[in-house]
Structure 1
Amino acid sequence: MNKKKISKLLPLFLLLVVFLSGCVRRTSSGKPYGWIYDNLAIPTQHLLMWLAQQLGNNLGWAIILITFIVRLILMPVMLNQSRKSTIQQEKMAVIQPYMKDIQARTKAAQSQEEQVAANQELMALYKDNNISMTGGIGCLPLLIQMPIFAALYAAIQYSPELSSSYFYGINLGQRSFALVALTFVIYALQGYMSLIGLSPEQKKQMQSMLLISPIMTAGITYISPAGLGLYFFVGGIFACLQTLMILFMRPRIKKQVAADIKEHPLKVPAKKPRPVTPTGTEKESQPSTQQEEIHQKNRQRNAGKQQHRK
């Protein structure tokens, strides 16, 4: 993942933090109020308390049940997004040699005009083949879940009954370092699983995602009550299951992409990219000096034989 992709994810992380921690104010006596609290937190409090009563007065299982329902609803959206991302990865593998050639020429450019021209050529390569610069990574599932995050956060944070509840020794209204660690591990595992079956070049490009996603999720868990951390951790388990489903689907997706490319070939430069030296300069297509000397000696030897015959 390059810096441009990272710069697109960081604002989403900051927006989520602000959305979770803001919008709920307190009166001078400490009573919470505001749109988030009145319209999201209070209904969520009632729902959680009702579910907890149905589950043996266990609020932790109520949060897990809500997580299961939310993830089940979002599963088609997430699988569709993962499928599109896999298709993008397969297309990227096809145009990889041309990307390397353009990137090498960008580094070896002697002027700003040459760099701009190479960047435009790279963008045209993406555009002509309908390839996303972000690799098909979408934000829709995160945006859909943001109101749920805010509702759970406010409901647990500002409810005396919920904040004093325990789940296997964990106070759901306080920060839990155990859930922070578990959340980091489960999303790191999900990131590792997502690299299975990719080429070495694609793995290298996506390696930073192995740390960015777990760190972001663990960071939100750290500043949130353990009840919301439990939601994230269980959601990470579902993310791993979703990744397993994509791994089983990947061979079929590869065949489909190969068939589509065969029927509708990707638009690539007519001239194949030439190899590039480590210094960034193109190798000369002319024969080397040593080869030229050998050819010159052979020509002189043949000329001498012809004169001897005469």
Structure 2
Amino acid sequence: MKNKKLLTIAAIMASAMLFLSGCVQHTASGKPYGFVYDNLAVPTQHVLVWLSQILGNSLGWAIIVITFIVRLVLMPIMIKQSKNATVQQEKIAHIKPLMEDITKRQKEATSDAERMAINQEMMQLYRDNNISMTGGIGCLPLLIQMPIFAALYAAIQYSPELSRSYFYGINLGQRSFTLVALSFVVYALQGWLSTLGVPEAQRAQMRQMMIISPLMITFMTYISPAGLGLYFFVGGIFACIQTLIINYMRPRIRKEVLAELKKNPVKQPKKVVTEAKETTIESSPTSATSKKKRNAGKQNRHK
């Protein structure tokens, strides 16, 4: 489920970039115009130039400051979501035997109706134990960042000043393989940090995410100007800090989940398929009795 969500986010980001690339119009002389350029790119260019003048005429540091402000504002929301996801992980660890039993019966099911019934049993297991099917992960931080992402992309892509600016030898208007590599490393580090303190069984399930997330960000950095790649890289550093905070909170979260489970033990759903089979078995004697009556009737007629 989480992997599917990551792929969905990647598709949204890529679609947004394609949209931004195509929605800015140009005059016959090549000058950009349009809603995105006038309302997002131009104000962002002014803010970046203003910040760069304060920071020694460095547009790179201006982008870092904007990233810092954005991620600092989002930090409480993202930590709350990460905490919710951690709570979900701890709860899932306690219902895992039940999940494995349901998954086994799903594989052994011989009909679509049986598989559907077992699938409903899994959903009931999640509902009864107050566990989210999405693992407590939401898209709100991403949605909040999208306007900033769009503004930075358009500003860097269509600003002559920004496209010619350098930051430690990196042209902010061109692709930077250095930032591509750094973004991969920092998000791979964040993925590894997220596995610390997690049981081995859950760690094995998280390995796919450890691969998908860095590859997704690396791809986004590869197809973006270096100015936006710098935004991704600094955002990755914040993601590592956020993960360290959650790792520090994990023992306390685990105690809270255990205390909650003592008050409200794990609820096991009714086995829908088993009940259906029992109903079939119970109906058999009735059918046999009816058959005997019909046979007795035939014999009486012959007499």
Cα gap change, 1:125 to 1:76, in 2 (>3 Å)? same
Which structure dedicates a bigger proportion of its chain to helix? 2
Correspondences of 1:171-210 after superposition (within 5 Å) = 171-210=171-210
Residue aligned with 1:208, SS:
helix
Identity of aligned residues (%): 67
**Count of residue pairs brought into register by the alignment:** 271
CA RMSD of aligned residues (A): 1.7
- Measure, in 2, the Cα distance between the counterparts of 1:170 and 1:2: 34
Distance 1:127 1:270, change over 3 A: closer
**Could you tell me which residue of structure 1 aligns to residue 131 of structure 2?**
131
> How far does the alpha carbon of each residue in 1:231-257 deviate from its partner, in whole angstroms, 9 at most, with x for none?
100010010001000000001111111
Could you say which residue in structure 2 is the equivalent of 1:304? none
1:24 & 1:146 partners in 2: Cα distance?
17
Q: Following the alignment from structure 2 to structure 1, what is the Cα–Cα distance between the partners of residues 60 and 10?
A: 30
Structure 1 segments of 4+ aligned residues over 6 angstroms from their partners:
none
Any conservation in 1 of the 2:124–2:269 contact (CA below 8 Å)?
Answer: no
State the AA in 1 paired with 2:66: I
Runs of 5+ consecutive residues of structure 1 not aligned to the other structure = 272-310
Decide whether aligned partners of structure 1 residues 228 and 50 sit closer, same or farther in structure 2, where only a CA change above 3 A counts.
same
Note the alpha carbon deviations across 1:68-102, whole angstroms, 9 max, x for none. Answer: 10011000100000010000001100110000000
Residue 239 of structure 1 corresponds to: 239
3-state SS in 2 of match to 1:207? helix
String of CA shifts for 1:192-239, please: whole Å, max 9, x gaps.
111112222222222211121111111111111100000100010010
Residues 194, 243 of structure 1: 8 Å contact kept? yes
Pairwise CA distance, 1:54:
0.5
Q: Compared with structure 1, are the counterparts of its residues 124 and 14 closer, same or farther at alpha carbon in structure 2 (3 Å cutoff)?
A: farther
TM-score w.r.t. the length of structure 1 is 0.83
Distance in 2 between residues matched to 1:176 and 1:33, nearest whole Å: 27
Report the CA distance shift for 1:2/1:224 in structure 2 as closer, same or farther (over 3 A).
closer
Specify the alignment match of 2:108 in structure 1: 108
Secondary structure of 1:131's match? Answer: coil
Equivalent residue number for residue 88 of structure 2: 88
Q: CA deviation at 1:7?
A: 5.5
SS in 2 for 1:87: helix
Whole-Å separation in 1 of the counterparts to 2:253 and 2:19:
37
Cα separation, 2, equivalents of 1:88 and 1:157: 40
Q: Distance in 1 between matches of 2:79 and 2:70?
A: 14
Contact 1:52 1:59 in 2 (8 A): yes
- Distance of aligned partners of 1:209 and 1:3 in 2 relative to their CA distance in 1, 3 Å threshold: closer
Does the 8 A contact of 1:2 with 1:205 survive in 2?
A: no
**Structure 2: runs of 5+ lacking an equivalent:** 272-303
Q: Does 1:214 align with 2:214?
A: yes
Q: Give the TM-score normalised by structure 2.
A: 0.85
Residue 64 of structure 1 is matched in structure 2 by: 64
Aligned in 2, Cα 1:153/1:6: closer, same or farther, shift over 3 Å? closer
